Amino acid sequence: MQIFNEISFRNLRGDVFGGITAAVIALPMALAFGVASGAGAEAGMYGAILVGLFAALFGGSPTLISEPTGPMTVVFTAVLANLIASDTEQGMAMAFTVVVMAGMFQILFGALKLGKYVTLMPYSVISGFMSGIGIILIILQIGPFLGQAAPPGGVFGTLKAIPAWLSQIHWAETALALLTVSILIASPKQLKKYIPPQLAALLIGTVLSLWLLGLDDLRRIGEIPKGLPSFQLPVFSAEHWQKMIIDAMVLGMLGCIDALLTSVIADSMTGKQHNSDKELVGQGIGNIMSGLFGGLPGAGATMGTVVSIQAGAMTALSGLVRAGLLLIVLLWAADLTAVIPLAVLAGIAFKVGVDIIDWGFLRRAHLLSAKGALITYGVIGLTVFVDLIVAVGLGLFVANIMTINKLSKLQAADVNLITDPEKTDIQLSDYEKELLSEAKGKVALLHLRGALIFGASRQISQMSTNTDCCQELILDMSEVSNLGVSTALAVEKVIRAMTDAGTDVFIVGLQGQPKERLEKLGALQVLPKDSLYSDRQIAIERAVFNTRKGNDAALQEGASY
C-alpha cells in the first residue's frame, strides 16, 4: 500500500491556489477555535498546521483539508474543562494527551479496516449530535459576545451567568461581534470569490477596533509565541485514565466521522475515490502530532476542502501548501494577531455554530418520521444538557432497537408456514397444491426467503409451534441467500424439535452460506442422508407418500381389531 497521499506537480497552479485559499480561511478559524476552546489561539494555530500537514501527507483523500473543526473543538473544550477542574496543574497536559490517544484510536480503526463502517450511523443520531454541538458552540460564545470572560461550568455555567452579564454589557465588543456575524451572513457572492468572509470580518473588525473606534479597553488575543511549538510529553493520571480513554474514543470517533463525511463531499466534487482506512491513519497521525505539540484536535473541514477544490486543488499538494503558509505566519507574523479583538473571533465561532446545526433536517424531521424526529431532538437535548457520550450511546441504542423492530416486522413476511395451499401467497404449482390438499394438514411447508438476520428468528420459532399436528415438515430454503447466527440457531432448534418428536424433516434448496452455517452447527447430522432435496415438488411427493403409508398402516392396524 502506498504510504504517502497522492502528491503531484502536474496541477501545480491549481494546487497552490487551492492551498493559499484554504490557508486564508484556516487562519481566522484556527484563532477562533483556539480561543473558544480555552487552550489559547496558539493551540488553534498548532492544530491547523500539524493536523493539516500530516493528514495531507499520509491520508487517503487527496483534496481533503484537515484542521480544527467546530465539533472537535466543542468536544475538546469539554474534555479540557473537566480535566482542569479535577487537576489544575496537569489538566491541560492530560487534555492534549487525550488528543494523542484519540489519534491512536483513529490509526487503530484504520488498521482494522473499519473506515467503511464508521459512517454507518442513523442520520437522526448524527444530525442530533452535530446540531447539539452547534448549539453548545453558540452558547459558549454568549460571554465573549457580551464582552465577558467565559465562566467555568460550560453550558450551565454560561446560562447561569447570563442575567449578570446583561447588566454589564460591554457594548463596543457586542457591536464588533454583531458586525462580524453580519459580514459573514451578508457578504455578496461576488466578494467571496476574492476574499473569504471570515478573513474580511477579521480584518474589518480589527481595523475598526484600532483606528476608527479608538478602543483601548477591548479584550484582544494577545501575542502568540513565535517559533515552532515545544514538544510535550504525554501525561497520564491513574485517577483519570478511564475517563481519558473514553474521551479519546469519543474524540477519535467524531474525528473519523467528520473526516470521512467530508471526504465523500470531496469525492463528489473531484470524481475521485478516497481510501477510508488510509484516511483514518492519516488523521490519526495528524492528531497524535498535534497533541504532542499542544495543538487542538482536527478533522476534515468541509469549508476549507470545498473552497480549495473550487480554487483548482486536485492533489494533497494543496494541503501541504496550506500548512506551509500557516507555518510562515506562525514564525514571522504571529505578533500581528495580538491586536485581534476576542469579540471578532466570538462572532466567527458563533457563525460556525449556526452552520453546524442541521436546519434542513430539523425543519422536516417530524414530517419524515415522528420517532426519528424524537430521537434527533432527544440526542440534541442530551448533547447540550447531559453528556456527549450519553447522547450518542443512548441515541444509537434507541435507533437500533427501532430498526430491529422494523426489520423484524419486514422479515415476518419472509417466513411462511403453509398447510392449506389455498391460503398462501407463495407460488405453488397446481400439482404441489394438489399434494398438500391431499395431506389435509399432515404435511407442513415452512418457506423461508431472503437474507434472514436475527429479526426473523423469533418468527421462525413461533411458526414451528404451529406444526405440532403435522407428521411431515418441509423446510424450503431455496430462496435464502444468507442465514444469520440467531436465525441459524432458530432453524436448528426447529429441526431438532421435529426429529425428536418423530416428525420427518425434509430440507429443500439448501446451499452456499446457509448450508455451511447449519453444517457447522451440526443441525444436519440429526437428519437421514436422504432428507436434502434440490426440488421442492419431489420433497412434497416424498412427504405425502409417507403420510399415505402412515394411513395404510393405521387402516391395517384397525382391521386387525
pLDDT at 167 over 50: yes
Beta-bridged to residue 117, according to DSSP, are: none
pTM value?
Answer: 0.77
| pLDDT tens sequence across 305-328 | 988 898 889 999 999 999 999 999
The pLDDT score that the predictor gives to residue 554 is: 41
Least confident of 72-81, 164-173, 209-218, 471-480: 209-218
The pLDDT score that the predictor gives to residue 64 is: 94
> CB–CB of 531/505 below 8 Å?
yes
- C-alpha cell read off for 72: 472537535
Q: What's the mean pLDDT in 87-97?
A: 91
Q: How confident is the model at residue 1 (pLDDT cuts 50, 70, 90)?
A: low
Q: What's the mean pLDDT in 487-494?
A: 86
Q: How confident is the model at residue 544 (pLDDT cuts 50, 70, 90)?
A: confident
Matching residue, cell 515552532: 228
Phi, psi of 160 (to 5 degrees): -70, -30
Half-sphere exposure of 237 (CA within 13 A, CB side): 20
* Cα gap 290→82, rounded to integer Å: 20
| pLDDT tens sequence across 516-525 | 888 888 888 8
Beta-bridged to residue 371, according to DSSP, are: none
Residues in the chain, how many? 561
| pLDDT tens sequence across 202-216 | 889 988 888 765 556
The pLDDT score that the predictor gives to residue 279 is: 94
Q: How confident is the model at residue 105 (pLDDT cuts 50, 70, 90)?
A: very high
The pLDDT score that the predictor gives to residue 339 is: 84
Q: How confident is the model at residue 92 (pLDDT cuts 50, 70, 90)?
A: very high
Phi, psi of 356 (to 5 degrees): -70, -35
Query: What single letter denotes the amino acid at residue 57?
Result: L
Dihedral angle computed from the Cα positions of residues 39, 44, 49 and 51, in that order, rounded to the nearest 10 degrees = 70
The pLDDT score that the predictor gives to residue 559 is: 39
Q: What's the mean pLDDT in 168-177?
A: 89
The pLDDT score that the predictor gives to residue 261 is: 86
* Cα gap 182→154, rounded to integer Å: 26
Between 5 and 215, name the one with better pLDDT: 5
Least confident of 350-354, 411-415, 427-431, 503-507: 411-415
- C-alpha cell read off for 474: 418441509
Q: Which of 1, 8, 3, 2 is nearest to 318 (CA)?
A: 8
* Cα gap 312→289, rounded to integer Å: 28
| pLDDT tens sequence across 362-395 | 888 888 778 888 888 998 998 888 877 778 778 8
Q: Which of 324, 276, 321 is nearest to 300 (CA)?
A: 276
- C-alpha cell read off for 147: 464582552
Q: What's the mean pLDDT in 131-141?
A: 89
Could you tell me what percent of the chain has a pLDDT over 90? Answer: 25
Q: How confident is the model at residue 556 (pLDDT cuts 50, 70, 90)?
A: very low
Q: What's the mean pLDDT in 316-342?
A: 89
Mean of all residue pLDDT scores within the chain: 85
| pLDDT tens sequence across 274-300 | 899 999 999 999 999 999 999 999 999
* Cα gap 310→24, rounded to integer Å: 14
